[in-house]
Amino acid sequence: MIAAAAEILDEEGIAGLSVRAIADRAKTSTIGVYSHFGGKKGVLNALYISGFEQLGASVEDVRRENTGASHERILLAIDAYLEFEARKPRLYALMFDAQGDRFQPDPEATRAARAAFVKLVAVFLAARPDWSRVHAARIAFESWALVHGLVMLRTHQTLKQSPAAWQRTVRSAARNYLFGAMNDRINRPK
């Protein structure tokens, strides 16, 4: 049933994700959504968790498979992040919905989001083992914010860029931030 929901979300977006649509696609009646997931909110939570698990896994793949130059590793994690969003833009939008008044993830879903962030921090620590965990978490958080903000504003301002050019833009912005963060204590813009 969660596969049915994921398909509908990918194809029609959140507006098409009604309890009846899910039940129809799963070839059951609406009561199944309630008995299996406790209702629509349960479906949204399951999708949310699935999204963060996928995102975390793609970031972790980068950490495991790459032992190159430290910042290139970070940029590859960012590439993986962008690739996930490009593949599943509607799932991404659900995961980062600004309207907390509509859907608030439950504690398990919140933990999945935190776990994905921890995996992102792990990439930063692998790239920069000289950083403290606190420092790496801060830089990871701010890098994530930059990339997430770019993703959101790209859609918001309806920017037209080829995927390759977009990737270059994001990488360049991230490199600028990282460079500044590395020189944080020495040079500060006046």
Partner DNA sequence: TCATGATCATAACAACGTTATGGTTGAGTA
Partner DNA sequence: TACTCAACCATAACGTTGTTATGATCATGA
Please, what is the minimum distance in Å from the beta carbon of residue 180 to its own copies? 3
Strands (E), the chain: none
CB under 5 to 8 A by kind: which of DNA, its own copies, none does 32 bind?
Answer: DNA
- Which residues of this protein are in contact with its own copies, per CB under 8 A? 12-16, 69, 71-72, 90, 92-94, 96-102, 110, 113-114, 117, 141-142, 144-150, 152-153, 155-158, 172-173, 175-184, 187-190
Q: Which does 132 bind (CB under 5 to 8 A by kind): its own copies, DNA, none?
A: none
Find the binding residues for DNA in span 17-76 (CB under 7 A). Answer: 17-21, 28-36, 39-41
Footprint (CB under 7 A) of DNA, residues 118-177: none
Q: Which does 29 bind (CB under 5 to 8 A by kind): its own copies, DNA, none?
A: DNA
Residue 76 interacting entry, from its own copies, DNA, none, C-beta within 5 to 8 Å by type:
none
Torsion of CA 21, 27, 31, 37, to 10 degrees: -80
Report the half-sphere exposure of 58 (CA within 13 A, side-chain side): 17
CB distance 18 to 99 below 8 Å: no
Q: Crossing angle, helix 70-87 and helix 40-65, to 10 degrees?
A: 150
Q: Are 48 and 94 in contact (CB under 8 A)?
A: yes
